[in-house]
Amino acid sequence: MKTSKSEHESSTTHINLISESTIEQNEPEKEYMTNDNDTLFRKSIEVIKYGNFTDENNEKDVLKQILRLLVNPINNEWKQLVRHLAAELQLGNLMLSRLETAQTDETKTYCVSILAVLGMLHIVIDKAREAKREMRKYGGSFMIFGDAELEKEDNEVALRRKVELIYQYKQSFEESRRIRLDCKYKIVRKFFGIIVDQIRQSERLRSIAIVKDSEVIPQMISFNEMTNLKGVVFTVPQYQQSLTQIPQTKIQDQDKWIRLNIQLDFETEERIAKFFIGKDIIEFAGVGIKKLPQDIKVVVMSQSPVKAYYVDNQERKGEEITQFIPWSI
C-alpha cells in the first residue's frame, strides 16, 4: 500500500510539474505568436500562388489555414496586420484567379469564403452572372441561383438606366431654364442688311432669327424656346483656331462679323435672305432662305452683350445662289 501511495504521490507530483511547465511556456509563446502567424500567412499564400502542394500540405488545408488566420484573429494587433498583409500580398486577386480554374467544391467554397471575408463577394457574383450569360463555367457560379437572379439583375440595370436618364433630362431641363438669351429685334419691311459685330471666341450662345412680325418673342428666352421659333434660326458660328497655330492657354478676343442681307433675288425679284461671315463680309454661308413673308422681323439673341445694327440701302450682296431653304411658319 505504501508503494502504491508513493507511486500515486509521485504521479501527482509529476503531473503538477508538467502543468506548471506548460503554463510557463504559454506566456512567451503569446509574445511571438503574431510573428509566427505572419510567417505562416505569407508561406500559405506563396504555396497557393505557385501550386507547391504536397500530400501533407494539400490545397484544401492551405486554403483552410488562410481562412482561419483571417477570421480568428489572436489579438487586435494581428487583426489589423492580417488585413494589411492580405492587401500587400494581393490575396483577393489570387483567390479570384484561382476561382476561375477551381475544380473541386471544397476549393471553390474556400476561395469564395476568403473573398467574402475580404469584402469582395460582389465581384464573385458579377463574374458568375457574366459567365452564365456567356454560357461558360465559373467557380463561383454556385453563388447565383438560376434565371431569377439574372432577371433581378437586369431589372436593377434597367432601373439604374432609367434613373440616369431622368437625371440627365432634369439636368438638361435645368440648363435650358438657366440659359436665357437677351433679345433685340428690328422689323424689316424692305431689303437691307443687318450686321452683328464683336462676336468673340467663347462658348456663349448667339443666334439670329427671322420670324414673322406677329410672332411674340419675350425679352428673355430660353435655348429650347429659341430653337422652337417659327421661322429660321441661324446660330452664329464660333471662332475656331487654325490647326497650324500653336494652342493658346489664354483665350484671345477675335472679332467675327455676321451679316444678314434680306434682299431681292437677282432673277425672280423674290425676297430672299443671305448670311455672310467675316469682318470683310466676303465669306458666304452657302445657303439662302426663300419665300420670305412681307412683314418679318430679325431677332438677335445672345447671352452676352453684342452690337447689332442695320444699314438701309439698295445694295445687293453676294452672287446668285441656287441652294435655298424654304421659309417655314
- List all residues 6 or more positions away from 36 whose beta carbon is below 8 Å from its beta carbon: none
pLDDT per position as a tens digit, 14-63: 323 223 333 334 444 545 566 788 888 899 999 998 888 888 888 989 99
Give me 123's grid cell: 465581384
Q: Does the predicted model carry a pTM greater than 0.75?
A: no
List average pLDDT for each run of 10 residues in the chain, which is 329 residues long.
42 31 42 73 91 86 90 76 90 91 87 90 87 82 67 69 63 55 50 51 61 79 73 62 35 53 65 65 63 77 68 62 66
Each residue's pLDDT tens digit, 265-286: 666 666 777 766 655 555 556 5
Residue 98 burial class via C-beta count within 10 angstroms: exposed 0-12, middle 13-18, buried 19 and up: buried
Q: Where are the domains of the chain?
A: 10-144, 147-178, 180-237+253-326
pLDDT confidence of residue 62: 92
What is the C-alpha to C-alpha distance for residues 213 and 232, in angstroms, rounded to an integer? 13
Cα angle at 198 between 194 and 199, to 5 degrees?
90
Q: Give the per-residue pLDDT at 184.
A: 53
**Helix, coil or strand: residue 187:** strand
Neighbours of 81 (CB within 10 A): 18
Alpha helices in the chain (DSSP H): 2-50, 59-71, 76-88, 91-101, 105-117, 121-133, 146-178, 223-227
Q: Which of 285, 258, 261 is nearest to 273 (CA)?
A: 261
